[in-house]
Chains A and B, each alone.
Chain A
Amino acid sequence: MKRWISNTLIVGYLSVLMYGVFCHALYYKVTQHPGMYFIVWDMFCGWSAYETRTHVVGEGASGQFYELSPGPWGTIKPHSDLDRRHYDYSGLHSINLAMNTLRQTEHEPMARLYVVEEAWPRKYNLPDELWAHRYTEPKDLQSYYHIRGTYAPDGQPLQQRPSLLTRLSQESLMDNPRLRHDMKKGKPFYAVDPSASRGGVIPVGYELPTDH
């Protein structure tokens, strides 16, 4: 290969990599384009004190509830013993799992579809012998359920909510009478969330009246 071509490739490739590091370090346009996923090295960037699972539930016209994921034919377990639905951390794709299951199965008409998040503190993941080392009380796991989304039978969103942990954070913040009072001075406005594939609408902020 000609020297100038290889030099161009070397400089170009290293520039792209360093641009990714720069953007990542300074939070610059990291979500501007899906291509950024290929140059931003944010492995294990988040963390949670809660273990979460996803359930995709269908409510039939008869009132019977159905498991819509995994489908009755089974599913892949991509990274562990957990099946695919549990890796939808954003909650954006679970409804696709439900729609596919409904397309490929025989069933009564559906009334509602739900995406439910289950969460429990990760301390309960400790095996019993390690639990006994660290805790004096018996292990008493309780799951908390939180509806992430309610959908019409055709998959159109009727109601979408942030994750349980976001809800808990917001509740902590809103547990403040002065703040609640201040917020009543404003009125909520809604914007279409561009990341929601099905035109989901979520509150993004509060618009304040301008007539002081």
Chain B
Amino acid sequence: MARNLTTQWNEFFHAREVPYGMALVRIVLPLVLLIGAIPRWWYARELYSTDGSPAPLWVSYGADALVPDLTAPVAVAACSVLILSLFAVCIGWMTRGSLVVSMVFYAGLGVIDSMSTLTKYTVIASHVLMLLALSECGAVWSVDSWLRRRGQTSQERLAGPPISPVWPRRLLQLFIGIVYLGAAFTKMHTPAYFSGDQLTFWMLGDVNFENRFGEMLTLYPSLLAIMAYITIVWEILFVFLVWSKFWRLPTLFIGLVFHFLTYFTLGLIIFPLVYFAIYLAFIDQQEAERMSMAVRLTLRRLGLTHKRKRPATASSLVWARPAYTAVAWGMLMATVAVIGVEVEHHRDVYQERGPNGPLPLKAMDTQVAQAMLGPAQPIRPQDRYFAFDIGSSTLGGVLSDRRETFNHGERALIQCTLQPPHPDMWVEVNLHDADDVLLKRVGTVVPREDLRADFFYDLDQSMLPGKYDFVLKYDGEELTRRSITLSGPSPELTALR
């Protein structure tokens, strides 16, 4: 038994492979991270230095400083080196060193600015950079491998690409699954997640990029409830199913679709791109070789390849020796840091040294300021409710259809969703006829912990065909109304038959 487990452990973690999957992650992930890192260089002084307004993570935790205070030149140098090291990781130049530098500066700058740099994708990327640093991801498709080949004899080259243990890739795959598991626990802690309310309000939020599709989906709350259940089941099962030959592709496909949709539904950009990059760790050696062959064949058919030159021998390339490369890498990092500091200094981000500097403050309109600083305004009654819908069936606790026409004998379900936080409320849904005459009154108490109140009206033969209004009232005031049309034979005609 123990021997069997040991064998399985060794097969799972210590099998050897050409690290194509990790190399792909190494190439793509830094490009994604540069999307966020480059714009922040312009504001490095403000975001990360004592000459700006950093927002350290440890303040929120009431803990001691994790990172020493950075002066402006140090912060700018760190940002510059981070950008260069991410680029070096991408091309695989001094790969391990570049990965360590990237990870330290990426996480370090993140914790200094928890307001606008640190997010969960920053954390995920920091983990992945660390796992890449533990791997041999620079052994293939990299400047390092190109330089190494130049130092090899023709016999050594025949041995093929270097192989290494698979455990860093396995840890990355497990990391992805464990993050999903943690995300599933978050959802379990949020009761409003299962009714789709949490998703609804996230999709209506404007704190990320435009998400018109998400806003449209909020019109279909039952669909969101279904999506909520599918997502949580998939998040829990991911770490178990992704190893199965049968379930691997569907599980990964759902994951890709899920992250792709977060752009359209939540307006996320870098987060899904980070996941697309790290999903490349699921590509194993055989798949990578097949894909590589297919790409080469395609390029050859298109006439875009040229015959490979025989690499120069080691003796002709003294500068390609590891020691020279390391020195060149270190000097380039230092040079970029110095240039970055100098350029940023001349940029004069606060415009203090220019002809008009220091800049004056921007004056505010006094009326606007007084509105902001005046007494608190009570919440208007119409802002107490979020939605008022009429339908005939529910799914996941929310209306699954919205209807405007009903037939005799049907039951109209009326759902009033409130805007939390709200007080304990007495809410009425009254039935009015086409002449706005009150026909029926129904009311209920909605305690502060409830999000919605459900009502129903049986549309029986006592009601004439025609137009009716359901009127939502709170505190004696009409908040809104919805019209329905009742169709079918009138009671008189029925009696004549």
Point out residues on A near B: beta carbons under 8 Å: 1, 3, 6-7, 9-10, 13-14, 17-18, 20-21, 24-25, 31-38, 40-45, 47-51, 55, 57-59, 64-68, 71-73, 75-76, 78-82, 84, 86-88, 90, 92-93, 96-97, 99-101, 104-107, 114, 116, 118, 120-123, 125-127, 130, 133-137, 140, 142, 144-147, 165, 167-169, 171-173, 175, 193-195, 197
In contact, B369 and A57 (Cβ under 8 angstroms): yes
Point out residues on B near A: beta carbons under 8 Å: 13-14, 36, 39-40, 42-43, 46-47, 52-55, 57-63, 66, 107, 111, 114-120, 123, 126-127, 134, 165, 167, 170-171, 174-175, 178-179, 181-183, 185-186, 188-190, 192, 197-198, 201-202, 204-209, 212, 215-216, 218-219, 267, 349-352, 358-364, 366, 369, 371-374, 376-377, 379-380, 382-383, 386-387, 389, 419-424, 448, 480-483
Tell me whether chain A's interface is mostly helix, strand or loop, or mixed: mixed
In contact, A122 and B359 (Cβ under 8 angstroms): no
In contact, A79 and B207 (Cβ under 8 angstroms): yes
In contact, B209 and A80 (Cβ under 8 angstroms): yes
Contact with A86, one of B40, B207, B363 (Cβ below 8 angstroms): B207
In contact, A55 and B204 (Cβ under 8 angstroms): no
For residue B134, which residues in chain A have a CB less than 8 angstroms away from its CB?
9
**Distance in Å: Cβ of A90 to nearest Cβ of chain B:** 6
A192-B363 Cα distance, complex, nearest whole Å: 34
A82-B206 Cα distance, complex, nearest whole Å: 9
In contact, A101 and B361 (Cβ under 8 angstroms): yes
| Total of A-B residue pairs, C-beta within 8 Å | 271
**Distance in Å: Cβ of B339 to nearest Cβ of chain A:** 21
In contact, A37 and B57 (Cβ under 8 angstroms): yes
Q: Decide yes or no: A49 and B361 within 8 Å by CB, A44-B186, A76-B42, A136-B480 being known contacts.
A: no
A44-B377 Cα distance, complex, nearest whole Å: 29
**Distance in Å: Cβ of B201 to nearest Cβ of chain A:** 5
Q: Which residue of A lies closest to B119 (CB)?
A: A79
A48-B372 Cα distance, complex, nearest whole Å: 21
In contact, A66 and B421 (Cβ under 8 angstroms): no
Contact with A133, one of B181, B219, B376 (Cβ below 8 angstroms): B219
A20-B178 Cα distance, complex, nearest whole Å: 10
In contact, B422 and A104 (Cβ under 8 angstroms): no
**Distance in Å: Cβ of A201 to nearest Cβ of chain B:** 14
For residue B111, which residues in chain A have a CB less than 8 angstroms away from its CB?
34
A37-B377 Cα distance, complex, nearest whole Å: 36
In contact, B206 and A168 (Cβ under 8 angstroms): no
For residue A100, which residues in chain B have a CB less than 8 angstroms away from its CB?
46, 52-53
A94-B111 Cα distance, complex, nearest whole Å: 17
**Distance in Å: Cβ of B209 to nearest Cβ of chain A:** 5
Q: Decide yes or no: A57 and B204 within 8 Å by CB, A17-B175, A45-B190, A72-B361 being known contacts.
A: no
- Ranked nearest first, the 8 interchain pairs of A and B with the lowest CB-CB distance are A41-B182, A194-B62, A65-B369, A78-B116, A93-B55, A100-B53, A104-B350, A122-B204
A57-B365 Cα distance, complex, nearest whole Å: 11
In contact, A67 and B116 (Cβ under 8 angstroms): no
In contact, A97 and B215 (Cβ under 8 angstroms): no
In contact, B54 and A58 (Cβ under 8 angstroms): no
Q: Decide yes or no: A76 and B364 within 8 Å by CB, A34-B66, A43-B186, A82-B207 being known contacts.
A: no
Q: Decide yes or no: A45 and B186 within 8 Å by CB, A57-B369, A127-B212 being known contacts.
A: yes
Q: Decide yes or no: A21 and B185 within 8 Å by CB, A34-B58, A172-B421 being known contacts.
A: yes
Contact with B185, one of A24, A88, A126, A133 (Cβ below 8 angstroms): A24
In contact, A126 and B382 (Cβ under 8 angstroms): no
Pairs across A and B, CB under 8 Å, 9 listed: A7-B13, A43-B183, A76-B42, A101-B361, A114-B372, A122-B205, A136-B482, A172-B421, A193-B62
**Distance in Å: Cβ of B348 to nearest Cβ of chain A:** 9
A193-B383 Cα distance, complex, nearest whole Å: 33
A173-B218 Cα distance, complex, nearest whole Å: 30
A18-B43 Cα distance, complex, nearest whole Å: 36
For residue A3, which residues in chain B have a CB less than 8 angstroms away from its CB?
14
A157-B249 Cα distance, complex, nearest whole Å: 56
